């Protein structure tokens, strides 16, 4: 993942996707994608909820609430393609790369560049300027995705990463996360090219995510876009007995 430049098109569609998601009960399964086509926005999605959203009212509320972030990228013309009362299969597997940084979703060099407020945000992985010139820009995972659509696995991966000592000699780790167990009843999980660390994680983490789900439901998810340097304290909860030999 990359930190999104405030007021950029990719920043706006991610923020709007999470804002729309916040208007759907968090007990429902949903995927919301927002696409900026420059002259209009497409809101495409599926949700198990039967309650129709009034997109026009949501845009008005969004524009007022996030006035400081919208700049000239105002949402005016929209196409609403949200499908309701849909059955969505839960994500059982997720592969994601986490970084040894203050917010493990982002490389430490991105965070440093963001803190220094470089006018061009010219770190190589800052693709915002390119995205702003694209014909279309669409929201990205995890924004607009409900917990069972991979977002809970994503957060649990962050929880694991924060438990790995910061002095452990890695810049990043790629986790293969799953809610499933193998035929022997063993949790499916691996860290690419690191069997030792994989074993250490499996010795301690039980992959019971119910506590995390309860905590996540209490917070506003769109702050991940507006305040990318911070992360939820409960994700950094230390698990006892985690030892890397």
* Position 163 in a domain: yes
* Position 188 in a domain: yes
Reported as a pLDDT band with limits 50, 70 and 90, residue 96 is very high
Sheet holding 41-47, edge to edge: 78-83, 41-47, 30-36, 137-138
Please tell me whether residue 134 adopts helix, strand or coil conformation: coil
Query: In this structure, are residues 80 and 42 in contact, taking their beta carbons and an 8 Å threshold?
Result: no
Cβ-based burial of 165 (10 A; exposed 0-12, middle 13-18, buried ≥19): exposed
* Position 195 in a domain: yes
* Position 110 in a domain: yes
* Total count of domains within the chain: 1
* Position 25 in a domain: yes
pLDDT for the residue 127: 47
* Position 80 in a domain: yes
| Residue-range definition of the domain harbouring residue 96 | 9-236
With a cut of 60, say whether residue 120 has pLDDT above it: no
Query: In this structure, are residues 85 and 50 in contact, taking their beta carbons and an 8 Å threshold?
Result: yes
Instruction: Mean pLDDT check: name the lowest of 31-35, 63-67, 119-123, 220-224.
Output: 119-123
Residue with more model confidence, 116 or 95: 95
From CA 36, how far away is CA 13, in angstroms rounded?
7
Mean pLDDT score, 149-162? 97
Instruction: Mean pLDDT check: name the lowest of 54-68, 80-94, 116-130, 137-151.
Output: 116-130
Instruction: Mean pLDDT check: name the lowest of 8-22, 37-51, 59-73, 185-199.
Output: 59-73
* Position 207 in a domain: yes
Q: Give this prediction's pTM.
A: 0.92
Reported as a pLDDT band with limits 50, 70 and 90, residue 110 is confident
Reported as a pLDDT band with limits 50, 70 and 90, residue 165 is confident
Counting residues of the chain whose pLDDT is more than 90, the rounded percentage is: 73
Q: What are phi and psi of 188, to 5 degrees?
A: -85, 115
Please tell me whether residue 137 adopts helix, strand or coil conformation: strand
Mean pLDDT score, 46-64? 96
Indicate which CATH number applies to the domain containing 123.
Answer: 3.30.300.10
* Position 243 in a domain: no
pLDDT for the residue 244: 79
């Amino acid at each position: 993942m990359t930190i999104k430049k405030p007021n950029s098109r990719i920043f706006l569609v991610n923020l709007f996707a999470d804002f729309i998601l916040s208007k759907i009960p968090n007990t429902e399964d949903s995927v919301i994608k927002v696409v900026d086509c420059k002259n209009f926005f497409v809101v495409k999605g599926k949700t198990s909820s039967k309650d129709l959203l009034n997109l026009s009212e949501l845009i008005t509320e969004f524009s007022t609430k996030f006035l400081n972030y919208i700049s000239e990228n105002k949402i005016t013309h929209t196409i609403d393609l949200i499908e309701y009362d849909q059955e969505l299969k839960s994500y059982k597997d997720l592969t994601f790369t986490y970084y040894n940084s203050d917010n493990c979703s982002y490389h430490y060099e991105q965070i440093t560049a963001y803190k220094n407020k470089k006018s061009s945000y010219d770190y190589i992985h800052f693709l915002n300027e390119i995205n702003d010139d694209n014909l279309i820009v669409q929201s990205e995972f995890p924004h607009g995705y409900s917990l069972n659509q991979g977002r809970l696995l994503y957060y649990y991966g962050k929880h694991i990463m924060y438990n790995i000592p910061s002095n452990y000699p890695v810049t990043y780790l790629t986790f293969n996360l799953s809610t499933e167990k193998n035929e022997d009843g063993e949790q499916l999980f691996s860290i690419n090219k690191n069997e030792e660390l994989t074993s250490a994680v499996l010795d301690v983490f039980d992959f019971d995510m119910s506590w995390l789900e309860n905590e996540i439901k209490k917070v506003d998810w769109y702050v991940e876009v507006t305040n990318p340097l911070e992360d939820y304290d409960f994700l950094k909860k230390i698990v006892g007995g985690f030892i890397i030999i």
